[in-house]
Amino acid sequence: MGDAPLTRERFVERYGRFFGTQRIETIQKLGYLLIEGRGEGPYLFDTEGQRFLDLWNVGGVNSLGHRHPALVHAMQEALRSEDFGSLFFFSEAKGRLAETLARTAPGRLEVTYPAVTGSEAVDQAIKLARGATGRTEILHGDHGYHGVTGFALTMMAPGEMRDWAEPLIPDFRAVPYGDAASLRDAISERTAAVVLEPVRTDYDGRAPDPDYFPAVRRLCDAHGAKLIVDEVVTGMGRLGHVWGIDRWQVEPDLLVTAKGFSGGLFPVAAVVMRPEILEFFGDNPYRIISSYAWSNVGATVARRAIEETEKLLPEANAMGDRLEAVLLDLAARFPSVIHGVRRTGLLYALDLRDEMAGIGFLLGLFQRGVIAVASSQNLAVPKLYPPLILEDAQIAEFAEKAEDALGALA
């Protein structure tokens, strides 16, 4: 390659076929081929020097921005003496992370089992609920997104994401998200767990009514079912609290975290739970194992990510108000395109006229150097996951580019 810059063209020519030609061609056709060069705070730079304001952040993986200096420093320090470590042994890094999770998690949630990805952690939580209750039925909100491993994929709405992999796992049932009366009809002494996201992030970005989660908690208690909250997206500050479910002051039995928990640097996930969940393990604590789970380096990064999140949240919430004002202003000026703005903490969802408008708006933003994403189950709903470090200059940059993109659409 010599010193020539790795342009998109050169990338496709040289490496394209190793990713599946169809995949690369599809992304090219959609107009989203980006060869990542460098990440810096709220920005991503491609290998051709173009700067992108990242308001997707992979749904929160980079919620602290790209390569947050405190986290990079913590990781570099950790690497002086530590590596993955062993799934069998303990360490101070793992101890401090578990302690930090217990300190920040709701109520009596204080025992942690480690995992690597969000999907894996969701699977573990469901197995734990089945093991703890001796029951099999899993009720989950419809149109959720919980990942692509066995149990998690079984909760995916029917369609191209899952149909080709069927048959999946028995005894799962979708209930209408946000509807306590439907859950009341469905839940029974057969139910092992109810699995819900605090906000239905991959469909309409909608938070349920204030009385929904308290009602779900009461129904789970009345029937002896476990409440699992999937905080893979809504945790780590996204809803304006470290853990999203704190908005409703409801204590789940198990809480799943991933994405932002990684600090954007090292894959790490976790299930945090009430201590009694694990009683059924008896004297075999290794019914759940995962070779990469909770590397010592990853544990240090994740603990620092929680601490930074706590530190940044007050200012981030104020920044969130200013970003909301910009979105409401855009909605007022482009009513034919934007029909509504929803905000829960630092998660924003826009109701656009239709799916074509959603696709056009996101591509328009991308072409102007702003990365945002639509709900994969609802392309008319673009979402913003701003990093907690966003500043006024970037809000102004977004406002200008969004206005331009909307103007072109309208």
Ligand X SMILES: Cc1ncc(COP(=O)(O)O)c(C=O)c1O
Q: Which residues bind ligand X (CB under 6 A)?
A: 59, 117-119, 122, 145-147, 197, 201, 230, 232-233, 258
The token pair at 1 is 């390659």
Nearer to ligand X, 16 or 198 (CB): 198
Q: For the CB of residue 231, give the shortest distance to ligand X in the complex, in Å.
A: 8
Dihedrals φ, ψ of 7, to 5°?
-70, 170
Q: For the CB of residue 254, give the shortest distance to ligand X in the complex, in Å.
A: 13
Tally of CA atoms within 13 A in the half-sphere of 308 that contains its CB: 26
Chain position whose Cβ is nearest to ligand X = 118
Q: For the CB of residue 53, give the shortest distance to ligand X in the complex, in Å.
A: 21
Nearer to ligand X, 147 or 345 (CB): 147
Q: For the CB of residue 257, give the shortest distance to ligand X in the complex, in Å.
A: 10
Collapse the DSSP code of 206 into the 3-class scheme (helix H, G, I; strand E, B; otherwise coil) and give the result.
strand
Q: For the CB of residue 122, give the shortest distance to ligand X in the complex, in Å.
A: 5
CA distance 48 to 62: 22
Nearer to ligand X, 262 or 394 (CB): 262
Cα Rg, the chain, nearest whole Å: 21
CA distance 384 to 374: 9
Give CB contacts under 8 A, 24+ apart, made by 248-251.
Answer: 248/198, 248/210, 248/212, 248/213, 248/214, 249/106, 250/106, 250/213, 250/214, 250/216, 250/217, 251/106, 251/107, 251/108, 251/109, 251/217
Nearer to ligand X, 258 or 270 (CB): 258
Q: For the CB of residue 54, give the shortest distance to ligand X in the complex, in Å.
A: 16
Report which secondary-structure segment, H or E, holds 316: helix 296-333
CA distance 102 to 107: 9
Nearer to ligand X, 175 or 406 (CB): 175
CA distance 219 to 83: 44
Nearer to ligand X, 122 or 299 (CB): 122
The helices-and-strands tally (H runs, E runs) of the chain is: 12, 15
Q: For the CB of residue 12, give the shortest distance to ligand X in the complex, in Å.
A: 26
Report which secondary-structure segment, H or E, holds 92: helix 92-104
Nearer to ligand X, 12 or 270 (CB): 270
The one-letter amino acid code at 238 reads R
Q: For the CB of residue 60, give the shortest distance to ligand X in the complex, in Å.
A: 8
